[in-house]
Structure 1
């Protein structure tokens, strides 16, 4: 395959994506199946199963946030997704399929390029009808170039360019300046049509991402006060009635919601917990909290080993990957593939995973829950153990650092302190003889440092974790996507040039985008470029099996770049009181919908 010249810029724009959780291809579904396929609900409209048990109240814990605009990256967009707003479709409780939401059904053209959604009769919480034009207004706001292209930092646009909507990424980048050229239009008040640039079997699942939620135009126009309870207008099963900043929220059932009869809970109290804070289960065990994530390894172990408390556990296995990736530094040692390989094989993954019930040693970036995952995807036959360490030591010696002698002090950057950090430091010291220093900083500083350039004295890797749906397009196109991978493979000079171009206000949006793409193509490592090319190849087929095969090949190439070194796979434990019914965890970051829950006081 020739990779000497980049493909047209429009092709690469479709690969831009954020690294928080999104959703794409449906495992086990027809490539272009019509609406409702695979849905198993108690009512024909795809509603919940809770009508038999209406009433009740629960208290839940979620990560704190500053705002709840779903078109900007923040933990608040997930709370909105859980029940304040509703999009065209929702995921099924286990996250493997979709069910009708605002769209009661949909049609797909034979060529897989046109999706037509038929809206049900539904109202906003103020009693006004939800129309196709409301969705158009929302998407034009989302794609406004002034909001910026999709990113991963708090405040970035949440748009997912790999939905592949015709000219959407181009409009967002300023290359196309007329929104009428974007492949979204209202055929009438109840019909919404999308046109894609290329077939995308994951498009419908992608609509379940928070960025694609509709907003009420009249409520949102103006300042951010529309997010306050007194001004809130939503179309989801619950309304926002109270919000104490950094403390709590209260949600109450929305009587205007189209499927209100299948919404069980009358109200929900939301406790807002700071990210990275150590949470206690005392309120849960005293009955003050009904649902919370269980993140402390000692607490997980205690619940697992307690015959009574173990009944409260709900597990989502291997829902995310913890990894490390090189910083861009004037110290160029990590641009040497053999040095990265030595670090990869020298990681004591078994020891790192062994410190917590929440983790397993990771052979690949991809979760093993991904259909047709196999150990053959791993870069090396032995990713840990004595043989791997011996090979790591040999490679490090060949690079000029026998037993780590002369290897500069390695920095491990993180946005919060985790037990795995100390284990990584210890295993690299033990296995390779290199010194590693943790640099744990506030999240905002962490984001800045991991995307900045550094001098020779600041050299190392940053620590991160991604979680999301275990499907091939999501795991390959969304997480560690082609743009992120190619940028990780840039040499320091090319990366510095890329940052300079991105901040150059004298360039038009289209000039900036085209120049950045040329830098990504020309300056990156060959394998990173090959990976991106294979992802584009996957977009050129309408055959689901062929696409999966190409994406699987692309994933294996990405592993071979060793630009992202997998450390452990993370499992997610939640605890729920026995009277809480209907809770099933999904891999997407919202985890579950409030609509699916009900209370059985006899349980």
Structure 2
């Protein structure tokens, strides 16, 4: 679950990003912020009612970490389950269930778990829980949409287990004892610890899962190890979480309740925020951005994000099995209009899948990105005519997108560009989130809107999306040349060597055009100034409700 080199987040008037240092959970307590030097720190008075309401964009497809793939799900699961590591407000990897870790060769990693970590039912969280959960992620019976993630990490035997050649017990994970968890990789992956913060690698409670099956996430059955537990879930209305009193760091959790609202219409979400029903929105309506910037400057929060917005093509079905058609459609998108006129919040036109905000990522712009839009349009016409499409035989196709007014506005604008420049007739098709994900997974589309957000701050989190074995997000690109570059990048012995292969992959994507990058994201939302602890500098937008609190007004 994208940008100009926005390495620093911008927040307009929301005030300080307030990290908590040893604060308790009692109303009226004063807490000291720790984002500034001690000499500049200030005390904040807490509100009597510590309840937060967050917009979440859509109804979550699931709360099972091994069965999800979307950003809305991750936002909730991050509050319910805790993995080996977390992130701080600046996006730095910090201890979660693992107090510390070590590796001598970047192939064998040993995690030492905290002995005070408990499940919400009081059971201890142990290394055996992580063995069970990691194995569950690669087990074909689980059908995890993110099983490839463990394969990409080169975890021993992950590939053979996923393909059914070996039993899940052969995965390179082991509980050395109750509180020592070992992971073995086939190749050295220096950023592996960072990868373990991903949703799919969060633990689940074995006894609960085995007792209730797919119903283990229902409020009456739920057992988690995060700062909150599921209390009430009314589908398409609200998902309420309450404090987990057994969480190891509960004394520093301030909020008593967090509610996620699945609001797909951004105008409706904005209005509920303005009426005081919401504390944090998921997005803002594009057409209201300028007004909000003027009238709600103290609430408008904008920050860089590791995400790219793109349209992907089904390369195995006409008309997009022809690279000329794919390139023509991509070239005819005026990315400057989308980024600057329709959005205008700091988004940057994208010509790469990997956003340039990624640490150390700075490839050469592909040739089509160096052209003017008029030059791209001319090439697009030539390509489409060469593919056999013209006024008497116009190109027709459908564009799938998940229900969202913002996605619809962008699709209408781009459809107009295609019509004006190429005479293309496009049919827009929207589906609700869960159906949309399944449609793309099955390959039942011609072209589709998509967005990808990095799972960690390294280019492979984007380049791996296009591997042939990876169908997450509905990608069906099959390129032996691309997969070979992926293998070489994994085996690279230096960061510089890995970057060389990443750049080669981006060049190949520009040549084959299985997708059309459109813009690099910023995250823009409304945040009530009374919300403390909102992470303004976390590029992956990993927001932990346990770090937030409500300030007395």
Instruction: Report the TM-score, using the length of structure 2 for normalisation.
Output: 0.82
Give, in whole Å, the separation in 2 of the partners of 1:305 and 1:100: 40
Aligned to 2:13: none
Alignment equivalent of 2:285, drawn from 296, 314, 332: 296
SS in 2 for 1:130: coil
The aligned length equals 507
Equivalent pair of 1:349/1:362 in contact (CA under 8 Å): yes
Structure 1: stretches of 5+ with no match in the other structure: 1-20, 22-26, 28-39, 152-156, 491-519
Give, in whole Å, the separation in 2 of the partners of 1:242 and 1:486: 29
**Structure 1 residue 107, shift from structure 2 partner:** 0.6
**Structure 1 residue 317, shift from structure 2 partner:** 2.9
Equivalent pair of 1:202/1:473 in contact (CA under 8 Å): no
Aligned to 1:467: 453
Which of 275-284 and 563-572 deviates more? 275-284
SS in 1 for 2:223: coil
1:206 to 2:204 alignment: no
SS in 2 for 1:335: coil
1:236 to 2:232 alignment: no
Alignment equivalent of 1:116, drawn from 101, 107, 110: 110
Give, in whole Å, the separation in 2 of the partners of 1:328 and 1:380: 20
SS in 2 for 1:230: coil
Counterparts of 1:354-373 in structure 2 under 5 Å?
Answer: 354-358=341-345, 359-373=347-361
Q: For residues 80-132 of structure 1, what are the alpha-carbon distances to aligned partners after superposition, in whole Å with 9 as ceiling and x for unaligned?
A: 4322211110122233x3100111101112x2110000011122222222211
SS in 2 for 1:294: coil
Which of 350-359 and 557-566 deviates more? 350-359
Distance 1:178 1:426, change over 3 A: closer
Distance 1:547 1:159, change over 3 A: closer
1:250 to 2:240 alignment: yes
Aligned to 2:325: 339
Give, in whole Å, the separation in 2 of the partners of 1:371 and 1:422: 34
Distance 1:541 1:53, change over 3 A: farther
**Structure 1 residue 376, shift from structure 2 partner:** 1.7
Equivalent pair of 1:294/1:573 in contact (CA under 8 Å): yes
**Structure 1 residue 450, shift from structure 2 partner:** 4.3
Counterparts of 1:317-466 in structure 2 under 5 Å?
Answer: 317=304, 319-327=306-314, 331=318, 333-353=319-339, 354-358=341-345, 359-374=347-362, 376-382=364-370, 384-401=372-389, 404-416=391-403, 418-443=408-433, 446-447=436-437, 449-450=439-440, 460-466=446-452
Distance 1:210 1:375, change over 3 A: closer
**Structure 1 residue 343, shift from structure 2 partner:** 2.3
Equivalent pair of 2:172/2:183 in contact (CA under 8 Å): yes
Q: For residues 515-551 of structure 1, what are the alpha-carbon distances to aligned partners after superposition, in whole Å with 9 as ceiling and x for unaligned?
A: xxxxx8xxx5xxx322211111011123223222322
Alignment equivalent of 1:59, drawn from 53, 56, 66: 53
Give, in whole Å, the separation in 2 of the partners of 1:149 and 1:232: 20
Aligned to 1:553: 504
Equivalent pair of 1:112/1:542 in contact (CA under 8 Å): no
Give, in whole Å, the separation in 2 of the partners of 1:355 and 1:300: 10
Aligned to 2:552: 601
Q: For residues 127-159 of structure 1, what are the alpha-carbon distances to aligned partners after superposition, in whole Å with 9 as ceiling and x for unaligned?
A: 2222111222222333322112535xxxxx696
Q: For residues 328-354 of structure 1, what are the alpha-carbon distances to aligned partners after superposition, in whole Å with 9 as ceiling and x for unaligned?
A: 5664x5333333322222222223332
Structure 2: stretches of 5+ with no match in the other structure: 2-6, 8-18, 23-31, 35-42
1:260 to 2:250 alignment: yes
Distance 1:299 1:480, change over 3 A: farther
SS in 2 for 1:146: coil
Give, in whole Å, the separation in 1 of the partners of 2:133 and 2:383: 53
Give, in whole Å, the separation in 2 of the partners of 1:178 and 1:280: 43
**Structure 1 residue 203, shift from structure 2 partner:** 1.4
Equivalent pair of 1:405/1:433 in contact (CA under 8 Å): no
**Structure 1 residue 208, shift from structure 2 partner:** 0.9
SS in 2 for 1:475: helix
SS in 1 for 2:298: helix
Equivalent pair of 1:60/1:268 in contact (CA under 8 Å): no
Distance 1:415 1:576, change over 3 A: closer
